[in-house]
Structure 1
Amino acid sequence: MLDRVNSSDPAPPRAARTRAARQQRIVEHVLAQHSASAAELVELTGVSLMTVHRDVDELARRGLVRKFRGGVSAQPTSVFESHSEYRRTVRLAEKNAIAAAALAMVEPGSSIMVDDSTTALALVRRLEEVGPLTVVTNYLPALEMLKEMSEVRLIALGGEHSRTHDSFNGIACMESIAAMSVDAAFVSTSSMTGSMTYHQEQEVVLVKRAMLESAARTVLLMDGSKAPRRALHQLLPLDRFDDLVVDEQMAEPLVVEMREHVRVTVAPQHPE
C-alpha cells in the first residue's frame, strides 16, 4: 500500500518516519471503514486538521484515496477507480461465487489471460484445481499467487507499475499482449449497463481491449454492485464478449437485457 523503507537504505529522518506511519494508519482506516471525515482522522491521528489535510492531499495524489468535501473515501465514482487494496476487501462472497462458475470455463492444458481485477483474482486462487495451464497477467497480486502453483506456466506482462491498480500497464504492456494469442481471457471492469461496459481510466480501457483482442474466447466477470452504472470511458459493448458470469445479486431485469447480447451464467452463492 504505502511504500516501505528498505532496510539496507539509510534511515529516514524521524519526521518522515512519523509522517509515513500516520499516513499508513489513515489509509488502513479508510479502507476498513470505506470513508472517513476530516474530524474523524484528526481524532485518529492526534494531529491538527491542517496536517490531516496535507496527508490526505498527498494520499489522493498517489491514488490511494479519494478526497471529497469534508472527508476522504476509498469507494469508486464514475471518474475515480478504487485502490486495488480496497477492492480486494469488498464483495468477497460474490467474487468467489463468480470465480467458482468461471472455473468450469477454464480448459486444462489451455492458455488464459487474466486482468488486474480483483474478481479475476478470485479465479486465480482456484486455478491450481485445473492445471496444467499457461497463465498470462499484468496483476502483481496474481503473479505472487501463480508463481507458487506448480502446474502453472506463468508469463508476466511488463510495463509501468500503477500504484492504484498494483498492475503493469502502458505501451510496453500493450505491445507484450499484442505479441500473444491465448485461448481465453477473463476480465472484469468497474461498471456496466445491460448492453455496454465501462471504466474510469482510458489507459486501463486500452489494456483490457488488447487482452480481449488477443483471446479466442472472452469471459466477463461482474458482480451485481457494478450494474447498472456508467463510468467515463466505454470499454466494449456487451455483445463483444462470448460469456458473462454474474452473481445472484444482479437484478433480474438487467440479466434479461444482458441475455439479448451475450451468454449469461448466474453463479449461485453458496454459504461459506
Structure 2
Amino acid sequence: MNPRQHTSSRSARWHDMAEHIVRQGSASVTELAESFGVSVMTVHRDLDELERQGMVRKVRGGATAQASNVWESNIAYRLKAHTAEKDAIARLVAGLIEPGSSVMLDDSTTALAVARHLGELAPLTVVTNFLEAIRLLAGTPDIRLIALGGEYHASHDSFLGLGCVDAVESVSTDVVVVSTSAISETYAFHQEQEIVLVKRAMLRSGARRILAVDGSKLARVALHRVAPLDDFDIVVVDAGAPAELLQRLRDHHANVQVAQL
C-alpha cells in the first residue's frame, strides 16, 4: 500500500469509527478493535485523532459522543438525538413568532428545528450563526437572512468567538431563540465558554427571549452558567419530560409552555 492509499484508508476508518460511536452513543476500545479489524493500539491512536477533531471524547476504556458537564456532544450526535421532542418544541416556538418580525437563532439543533418551520411564517428576518440553518434558509422566499460571522468551529458547525459576539451586538431582534445543554430550576448552563459568550450576547439583543430545551436537559448542570431562567420570557419543554421535573420548573418560572409530542 502506497502512502496515499494508507492515508485514504486511515481517513475512511476515522470517518466510519466516528459514525459508529455517534450512532451508538459510545463504544469500548475492544469493540472498536473487533469491528474495524485493527489493534487496540491503533484504536487508541484513532480515538486521539477523533478527539482532536472534536468528533468524540475519550473515556476510560473507550469513547463517547454523549455530553458531560464539561464537554458538549458533537453536532453529528446532536442532530440525531431527541428529534421528535425537538420538532414538537419547534412547532410550539414557531407559533410564538409573528410574520414580519425578526428572529435570532443560536447554533443549537433545537433552534435548527425551529428554522425548518420559519418558511411558513414569511416574511421574516432571520439572524443566526449556525451554518446548517444558513444553508437551510438560504434562498427561502421572503426570508431575509443575516449570517453572523466569526471563527468557524467544525464541531458545532457554527461561527463563534469575538467576531461573532461583535456581530450579534450590532443587531437587535424581536425574538431570540436559544437552547442550552442543561437547566436547573433557576439557571441555564452550557459546557463551553465561547458558546456561553455568544448566547449571552444574543439574549441581550432580543426583545423577547425564548429558551427551548428537551426534557433530557432538565435538572442538570454544566460547567458555565449562561443566564438565570428569569432572564427568559418563555421556557418551552416537551411533554415527554418527567412530570415531577416539569412541576419543579413551573414552581420557579412563571411561563413554562409544554409542547405535545
Normalised-by-shorter TM-score class: over 0.9
Runs of 4+ in 1 over 3 A off after TM superposition: none
Please tell me whether residue 32 in structure 1 is matched to residue 60 in structure 2: no
- Give the Å deviation of 1:48: 1.3
**Partner of residue 68 from structure 1, selected from 37, 41, 59:** 59
**Partner of residue 183 from structure 1, selected from 174, 193, 196:** 174
Structure ranking higher in helix proportion:
2
User: In the alignment, residue 55 of structure 2 is paired with which amino acid?
Assistant: L
**Partner of residue 35 from structure 2, selected from 35, 44, 47:** 44
**1:252, 1:165 → 2: CA distance?**
31
**1:241, 1:42 → 2: CA distance?**
47
Give the SS at the match of 2:210: strand
Please, what TM-score do these two structures have when normalized by structure 2? 0.96
Q: Identity, % of aligned pairs?
A: 51
Give the SS at the match of 1:122: helix
User: In the alignment, residue 9 of structure 2 is paired with which amino acid?
Assistant: T
Please tell me whether residue 138 in structure 1 is matched to residue 126 in structure 2: no
**2:143, 2:177 → 1: CA distance?**
16
User: In the alignment, residue 87 of structure 2 is paired with which amino acid?
Assistant: N
Give the SS at the match of 1:216: strand
Alpha carbon RMSD of aligned pairs, Å? 1.1
**1:233, 1:252 → 2: CA distance?**
26
Please tell me whether residue 265 in structure 1 is matched to residue 257 in structure 2: yes
> What are the equivalent positions in structure 2 for 1:132-211 lying under 5 Å apart?
132-211=123-202
**1:252, 1:234 → 2: CA distance?**
25
More displaced, 247-256 or 206-215?
247-256
Consecutive unaligned residues of structure 1, counting only runs of 5 or more, are 1-11
Give the SS at the match of 2:80: coil
Consecutive unaligned residues of structure 2, counting only runs of 5 or more, are none
Give the SS at the match of 2:174: strand
- Give the Å deviation of 1:164: 1.3
**2:254, 2:191 → 1: CA distance?**
23
